[in-house]
Structure 1
Amino acid sequence: MATPSAPPDVLDNIVQSYEPLVARYGERNVVIQRHTSYERLITSLKSTFPSLEPIANERIFVTTTLPDRGEEKIEITPDLWAELVPSLREIQVETREPHPSEDSFTVVLCVNLRDGTHKKTRFRCKPETRVGDIMETIAANENVGIDDLRPTYGGARISMDVTLAECGIEDGDHIDVFPTMKGRKPVIYLLPPRPLENVDVRLSLAPAWEFTVVYPFVKIKGGGDGQSVSWTVSAKPDGTLTERSTNTEVSYLYWEAQAKPERLVTPPNSRPSTPLSSRPEAFDPSRPQEWLTPESSVVVKTNEIPAYLDAVLKALTLHTEARTSFITFWLPYLQKYAYIALRFLPQAAYEESAPLSIEPKPDVVTRIFMIFQGISGNDEKWTEARTHSDLNLEQRWRDAVGVDSARALNTSLFRVLEWGGMEIIA
């Protein structure tokens, strides 16, 4: 069927007067406008099917069926599109994989998921391929958010924005992918000896991490130099808080944060078991494994974890509700493993990473943050840590964290208590 000789816009008006054209892609069937221009067709398809947007035009092709060919799908080439479009009733949109070029190569992706499963896959790419493009594919395949993925190469975290060439990644190299490190459910209790009407609470984060959620809801301020949130609450001796701007009544202030991606970092150096200096070294949430060493941690069998944590948390002055909430929140994460290596961070290091400012100033602040990692029962690396669980655990962790238990339990003082934690998957 010959197409009349006329300007493209005129031809478009003519063919658009025909019956609708159905485009099929995946599980969707959509009526689209007819265009005599193949380029306009591709633009329209990308607008109609957003998942086509990142795919190069040359990888998108259109097929149809012809009366004399039965159900066989016939590809329509761009040069014949204008001639065939007036007679078409339905088209099928498909994509083809890019052809490996001479400069493309294969990287091996070792994906470690938060549920404990491990997968290995191969990815064909080019030196100029962005790490983020690969992570988008993994995120789509595993039904997770791209922000939940932490790519590493040679033991160092790599940014989503760099290319494989910039990282020095070559054919056959391995990229290890882990879940993003998250500080989960830190909660802040305020326990004044008498009612306080206006307590200003400001929580800041070092640039290494960023808030993912806070409650009661308040505005998250800041950016590259670090974020912060502020609450103004009234506080009762029983711990009940009322956030003034929303009149929300809560038992504690809640926040979570995740480690921010870096461009390219070198492998970690070892950390002392109890860092001490005139200015404490900040806990780095993007490198928590630096703080979990055999010298600084203990290893506990999973079936012994609840009793162990209850005893330790009690020694660290957590009241009954706080201990119960801590254990029940973390137990599903802990039970995935046979053994757990864990550590409670020094308050000074944690404070450097997440400064907490409260006015009027409390008499005592106790901040408890646990980091842990699931390990196998025969991992010789943790031999020393296994012996620590037999020591005086109450005194060990009080000293390591820096808890003044006498003042923290004194109900005549204005006390602040916080607990939270982070799982290390490496």
Structure 2
Amino acid sequence: MKPVIYLYPTKKEEVTVHLHYNGRLTSTDPPYDEAIGGWRVIARPDGTLTNLADYKEYSYLFWEGADYPLTVDQTRGFVVKGSDTREFLQSKLVELGLIPREYNEFIAFWLPRMEHNAYNFIQFVGDEYTKNAPLSISPKPDSMLRVFMAYKPLNQYVKVAPQKIAPFVRKGFSVIEWGGTELVD
């Protein structure tokens, strides 16, 4: 699991983010502050963050986790040719509610892992992800979108029921998270 968290408050303010992950954190940037159980930052409306532990500037909060077996129903989702993955992701991520900065960073991270596969099974996981990696954020955001993609390389096309995508509307203080994982048998 390799998610990033963007914070977009309506005004410059201190924000605390606590991640309650049901697994083991393997990497974070900025470093996850164990003393407070999270990150404490000054967030600006443009998404720029200043970490209060080291006063360095960041674009987002990154975390990577392990030791959590994600269960995904592989009978629904999407099966996409590897060579079509860029266009598919851009289209679906816009539909989900990501803006260019966010979907471009998502695609830059995930595309090299996916584009050379014959096909990719892709599902945007909802409750299974959020219940096992809940976030507590103070002050409480007005809107929060958590996009988590599970994918599996395939050698041939497999028919699956298409996944329904729910649109997201940003309002007020918005928190946007994207991440993903490769499914292994």
Kindly indicate whether the alpha-carbon contact (under 8 Å) linking 1:202 and 1:357 is maintained by their aligned counterparts in 2.
yes
Corresponding residue for residue 135 of structure 2: 356
TM superposition shift of 1:246: 0.9
Structure 1: which amino acid aligns with 2:21?
Answer: L
Corresponding residue for residue 188 of structure 1: 5
Q: 1:327 is paired with a residue of what secondary structure?
A: helix
Task: Quote the Cα distance in structure 2 between the aligned partners of 1:219 and 1:236.
Answer: 20
Task: Quote the Cα distance in structure 2 between the aligned partners of 1:384 and 1:354.
Answer: 27
Task: Quote the Cα distance in structure 1 between the aligned partners of 2:98 and 2:59.
Answer: 14
Corresponding residue for residue 291 of structure 1: 72
Aligned-CA RMSD value: 1.7
TM superposition shift of 1:315: 1.0
Instruction: Name which structure has the greater RCO, CA cutoff 8 Å, separation 6+.
Output: 2
Structure 2: which amino acid aligns with 1:423?
Answer: E
1:424 aligns with 2:166: no
Structure 2: which amino acid aligns with 1:237?
Answer: P
Kindly indicate whether the alpha-carbon contact (under 8 Å) linking 1:292 and 1:342 is maintained by their aligned counterparts in 2.
no
Task: Quote the Cα distance in structure 2 between the aligned partners of 1:297 and 1:340.
Answer: 10
Tell me the TM-score normalized by structure 2: 0.93
The total of aligned residue pairs comes to 185
Tell me the TM-score normalized by structure 1: 0.42
Gaps of 5+ in 1: 1-182, 222-227, 260-284
Structure 1: which amino acid aligns with 2:93?
Answer: L
> Which of these residues, 134, 145, 168, is aligned with residue 366 of structure 1?
145
Corresponding residue for residue 117 of structure 2: 337
Q: What does 1:35-74 correspond to in 2, within 5 Å?
A: none
Corresponding residue for residue 165 of structure 2: 397
Kindly indicate whether the alpha-carbon contact (under 8 Å) linking 2:83 and 2:116 is maintained by their aligned counterparts in 1.
no
Task: Quote the Cα distance in structure 2 between the aligned partners of 1:219 and 1:194.
Answer: 24
Structure 2: which amino acid aligns with 1:330?
Answer: W
1:210 aligns with 2:24: yes
TM superposition shift of 1:383: 2.1
Structure 1: which amino acid aligns with 2:16?
Answer: D
Task: Quote the Cα distance in structure 1 between the aligned partners of 2:176 and 2:38.
Answer: 17
1:318 aligns with 2:98: yes
Task: Quote the Cα distance in structure 2 between the aligned partners of 1:371 and 1:220.
Answer: 28
Report the structure, 1 or 2, having the larger strand content.
2
TM superposition shift of 1:349: 2.7
Q: What does 1:133-152 correspond to in 2, within 5 Å?
A: none
CA radius of gyration, larger in: 1
TM superposition shift of 1:235: 0.8
- Percent of residue pairs bearing the same amino acid type: 34
Kindly indicate whether the alpha-carbon contact (under 8 Å) linking 1:301 and 1:340 is maintained by their aligned counterparts in 2.
yes
1:384 aligns with 2:160: yes
Corresponding residue for residue 275 of structure 1: none
Task: Quote the Cα distance in structure 2 between the aligned partners of 1:308 and 1:344.
Answer: 13
TM superposition shift of 1:336: 3.6
Report the structure, 1 or 2, having the larger helix content.
1
